[in-house]
Amino acid sequence: MKINRVKGFSGEIKVPGDKSISHRSIMLGSLAKGTTKVTGFLTGADCLSTIDCFRKMGVDIELHDTEVTVKGLGLHGLKAPTDTLDVGNSGTTTRLMSGILAAQNFSCRVNGDASIQKRPMKRIITPLSMMGADIKSEADNGCAPLIITGSKLHGIHYDSPVASAQVKSAILLAGLYADGETSVTEPAISRNHTELMFKEFGVDINTVGKTATVKPAEELFARDIAVPGDISSAAYFMVAAAITPNSCITIKNVGVNPTRDGIIRVFEMMGADMTVDASSDTTGEPVADITVKTSSLKGCTIGGELIPTLIDEIPALAIMACFAEGDTIIKDAAELKVKESNRIEVMADNLSAMGADIEATDDGMIIHGGRQLHGATIDSKLDHRIAMSFAIAAMNADGETDILGAECVNISYPSFYEDIKGLELK
Ligand code: S3P
């Protein structure tokens, strides 16, 4: 995909549905009694993998455009799949579904693409095994393929070494089936979409500080879910408007759950010209319209408890930092190394290729802002967030940028390039 500088843009857009909430709507809908209707569902490849896996376990799931109907089988109604459950590129599918599979009355195999086969699964195998789960890594390397044999589970308290919603959610989902209370304490609060959706489906869940506690469930009750726009997808347009001259964009109906809105805090710290108009909640999730205009930006430090609230937005924020005056320090973000690619290394390599002044560190990166970027060949490593981040960098670089593997945006934002072309470009 070849991309050139733009002079500016304006417009109003709606980004696709939130990926995390879309995954959870299929999982909880499948385990509920009754029919769950989902609107605004993200039809990115990752969420389609979740649909495919639950269909393979006997759930009737119909998808029309962005509307999904899930005919739940109840907490104990899933059927043994006859085939490997293929999670594709999706870490969320792998980890959350493992928590459910650990408690079924069948065995199954879970596998995905080359990237998934390198991502750490010990982080869920360890706590789920403490609950009594039987999960084996086929190659004995702590990664997928996983062989999961359903077992009787008991409640535990787990002190998680990482702030990860995927780990927390896997344990809480297993906790639905346990013989007692299950709780997870995190070092910093990660996204709480599972907890919020549990409440909607009638699960007894309680959060105090950094600890979420779930009671075993007898039944989940189907609920309609309106999925808000994904702030992680909105991030590309927010950053693009802030760094491109003569630009203004409004993104409608964006999910601004406080465990996800760290990018808004960083925009404030960097002095971005932004307004956030809160509207009503949809299915327990706060929603807002976000407007961003061309901004005069200054560097800042991003670290600590802010990191889990913007972990997927760091590649886009690193691009923004290149256009800010002064240094931006991103720290406490070692988790970036175990995403769809090693996002510290890949951002540093590709931004250096474009002429940015960036140093990779052990737990993040330091960007000295203000250097003019120039076009380069960018290897996305088939990581959707890398491809989209460099598309917006390319719109502000001299010469042409060629993004290799650009089609990987279909993982979370299939219409990304069309939505850029749909802006009123100057
Ligand atoms: C997600 C949690 C985050 C995030 C991922 C989606 C989720 O991962 O990066 O894109 O839906 O729970 P971690 O839990 O590994 O931080």
CA dist list (Å): 90 to 59, 114, 276: 19, 11, 30
pLDDT of the residue at 366:
98
Burial class (CB in 10 A: 0-12, 13-18, 19+), 92: buried
State residue 284's pLDDT score: 86
Instruction: Kindly give the distance from the C-alpha atom of residue 99 to the centroid of ligand 1, in angstroms, as a whole number.
Output: 15
The Å distance, Cα 74 to ligand 1 centre, comes to 26
Determine the Cα–Cα distance for residues 371 and 250; give it in Å rounded to an integer. Answer: 28
| Residue 409, Cβ density class (10 Å: 0-12 exposed, 13-18 middle, ≥19 buried) | buried
Residue 380 CA to ligand 1 centre (angstroms):
19
Which residue's alpha carbon is at the smallest distance from atom 9 of ligand 1? 312
Residues 351, 405: Cα–Cα separation, whole Å: 17
Classify residue 142 as left (phi > 0), alpha (psi -120 to 50) or beta.
Answer: left
Are 227 and 22 in contact by the 8 Å Cβ rule? The answer is yes
User: Relative to the CA of 312, which ligand 1 atom is closest?
Assistant: 9
Give the atom of ligand 1 at the shortest distance from the alpha carbon of 163: 16
Which residues have C-beta within 8 Å of that of residue 114, sequence separation ≥ 6?
Answer: none
The Cα–Cα gap between 93 and 169 comes to 11
Q: Which residue, chain included where needed, has tokens 């805090």?
A: 265
Question: Is the domain defined by 19-226 classed in CATH 3.65.10.10?
Answer: yes
pLDDT the model gives residue 426: 81
> Distance (Å, rounded) from C-alpha 189 to C-alpha 128?
20
At 282 the pLDDT is 74
Q: How large is the C-alpha radius of gyration of the chain?
A: 21
Contact at 8 Å (CB) between 169 and 175? no
End-to-end CA distance of the chain: 21
Angle between helices 165-175 and 122-130 (to 10 degrees): 30
What spacing in Å lies between the alpha carbon of 140 and ligand 1's midpoint? Answer: 24
- 8 A C-beta contact, residue 153 and residue 177: yes
Residue 304: how many other CB atoms lie within 10 Å? 10
Ligand 1 pocket test target in 164, 337, 388 with most atoms within 8 Å of CB? 164
Q: From residue 232, how far is each of 74, 125, 287, 313, 412 by CA, in Å?
A: 31, 27, 13, 6, 9
Domain with CATH 3.65.10.10 in the chain: 2-16+229-425, 19-226
Ligand 1 atom nearest 164 alpha carbon: 14
Residue 248 pLDDT: 98
Rounded percentage of the chain residues whose pLDDT exceeds 70:
100
- Check residue 281 and give its pLDDT: 76
Give me the pLDDT at residue 283, please. 76
- Both tokens of residue 139? 């190659």
Return the SS3 of 316: helix
CATH architecture of the region 2-16+229-425 = Alpha-beta prism (3.65)
pLDDT, position 279:
81
User: Measured between alpha carbons, how far is 145 from 147 in angstroms, rounded to an integer?
Assistant: 7
Q: Which of 257, 260, 259, 264 is nearest to 283 (CA)?
A: 257
List all residues whose CB is within 6 A of at least one atom of ligand 1: 20, 92, 164-166, 169, 190-191, 311-312, 335
> Looking at the annotation, which residues are catalytic?
312
Length of the chain: 426
Name the residue of 46, 49, 92 whose CB sits within 8 Å of the most ligand 1 atoms, as the mutation to test its pocket. Answer: 92
Q: Note the pLDDT tens digit of each residue in 266-300.
A: 999 999 999 999 987 777 899 999 999 999 999 99
* The pLDDT value given to residue 424: 83
- Measured by CA distance, the residue closest to atom 5 of ligand 1 is 92
19 CA closest ligand 1 atom index? 11
Enumerate residue ranges in the chain where pLDDT < 70: none
Q: What pLDDT shows up at residue 51?
A: 98
pLDDT digits (tens, 9 = 90+) for 74-100: 999 999 999 999 999 999 999 999 999
218 CA to centre of ligand 1 in angstroms: 27
Residues 133 and 80: their CA atoms lie apart, in Å, by 17
Could you give the angle at the alpha carbon of 129 between the alpha carbons of 207 and 305, nearest 5°? 35
Q: Which two tokens stand for residue 72?
A: 């739940």
> Which is the closest atom of ligand 1 to the Cα of 194?
12
Q: Rounded to the nearest whole angstrom, what is the distance from the C-alpha of residue 8 to the centroid of ligand 1? A: 32
Residue having the nearest C-alpha atom to atom 4 of ligand 1: 312
Strand, coil or helix: 265: helix
So what's the pLDDT on residue 198? 98
Q: How far apart are CA 80 and CA 128, in angstroms?
A: 20
